[in-house]
Amino acid sequence: MSAPESFPAAPAGRAEPSRAAPGGGSEPAAGPVTVRALVARGAGAALRIEQVRLPAPGPGEVRVAIRAAGVCHSDLSMVNGTLAARFPLVLGHEATGVVAETGPGSRLAVGTPVVLNWAPACRACWWCRHGEPWLCAATTAPTVARGETDDGTPLHLTLGLGALAEAVVVPDGAVIPIPAGLPPEQAALLGCAVLTGTGAVRNTARVAPGESVAVIGLGGVGLAVLAAARRAGATTILAVDVAEAKRDLALAAGATDFLLSDERLSKEVRARTEGRGADHAFECVGRAATIRAAWRLTRRGGAVTVVGMGAKDDMVSLGALDIFHSARTLRSSVYGSSDPDREVPVLAAELAAGALDLGVLVSGTLPLDDAPSAFDRLARGEGARWVVTLD
């Protein structure tokens, strides 16, 4: 079989690429700004839109006016207690916008359209120097303290961004220039769901033409995995979910078959893969039960790629003899094993050229005031990605 499609390689030890746009340069910072943002005051607390104060961009920083932000399951995990978080917390980390202000020494120009990068690589640690920037030692903590609420309480930002807001203030390294004119509701997804799902197929699993793929969990990332598997040339692409309502979404994204996740799943998968099981299984939920399900429906010698982020106390149990006898590989895909600085521009160019259609991933758009309802829909498993858009 021919080699799988892949992103450009990231040479070990290479310095962080310059992001300066033509005509770039810095402008004097105008001072702190007050913006509206989606804030969680505690785990399980009702989400609400609040006024928050952001600092002026410092050296090498920019203020980005947000145009669209996706509602990701990782954001939900911050407020439902799955991930440890500090509050009050501005939610959101998957977004696109336009540079509105630059700090001293910034390499970006006001007016540059960008995608936010929640895991900028330092380019200096051992992992970066050995070609694994997605494991960078300097990767942002789940929440980062910056700014304050309108009543003066210190504020925390999801993954250092807090992108479900009218604006963010971030280092140059946390933004990636993209072509002008991309649909903002689709461009927003490049920085998380699409990069994660596509990278899992291209970089981690390296799916090859003619192989079979099973995908468990059909949220935004799972649907992106389906689409990437189709583009990689997989011939049997099995979409698995607990909700029959995901069938049409799955088929539109590129699945050849839709299967409900129940006690017959492994038999159904083998019936569609000449009795062997899938060459690749992608677990896009982040639960021990679905990781075990992915393991069972994969053929001997196949590979299971865990894409979903789970809870630290949700333990996975596999038999020692089964591990030996099945010769399967179990691995995770952190941020699609990707280098966003190099791979987001590739995806953005594909989107601009019409070679990448992300419309199927966008279940709907809504204004910032209605962002809490998007979290309710996400918790109920409705749709793929809900995107908040701002003027």
The answer to whether the CB of 84 falls within 8 A of the CB of 142 is yes
- pLDDT for 114 equals 98
Per-chain mean pLDDT for the chain: 91
The reply to whether 33-192+337-389 and 193-336 are identical in fold is no
- pLDDT for 1 equals 39
Q: Say if residue 15's pLDDT is above 50.
A: no
Q: Say if residue 8's pLDDT is above 60.
A: no
The whole-number average pLDDT for the span 182-193 is 97
Query: What does the alpha-carbon distance between residue 200 and residue 241 come to, in Å, rounded to a whole number?
Result: 19
33-192+337-389: CATH topology: Quinone Oxidoreductase; Chain A, domain 1 (3.90.180)
Q: How many helices (H) and strands (E) are present in the chain, helices listed first?
A: 11, 18
How many alpha carbons lie under 13 Å from residue 16 in its C-beta half-sphere? 18
Q: Where are the domains of the chain?
A: 33-192+337-389, 193-336
Query: What ranges in 80-182 are assigned the alpha helix state H?
Result: 126-129
The structure tokens 């300066």 sit at 20
Superfamily of domain 193-336: NAD(P)-binding Rossmann-like Domain (3.40.50.720)
Give the pLDDT confidence of 31-48 residue by residue, as tens digits: 899 999 999 999 889 999
Segment holding 371, helix H or strand E: helix 371-379
- pLDDT for 391 equals 78
- Confidence band of 334 (pLDDT split at 50, 70, 90): very high
This model's pTM is above 0.85: yes
Q: Which residue has the higher pLDDT, 100 or 21?
A: 100
The whole-number average pLDDT for the span 336-351 is 97
- pLDDT for 11 equals 37
- pLDDT for 5 equals 43
Query: What does the alpha-carbon distance between residue 250 and residue 235 come to, in Å, rounded to a whole number?
Result: 15
167 three-state secondary structure: strand
The answer to whether the CB of 331 falls within 8 A of the CB of 339 is no
- pLDDT for 140 equals 67
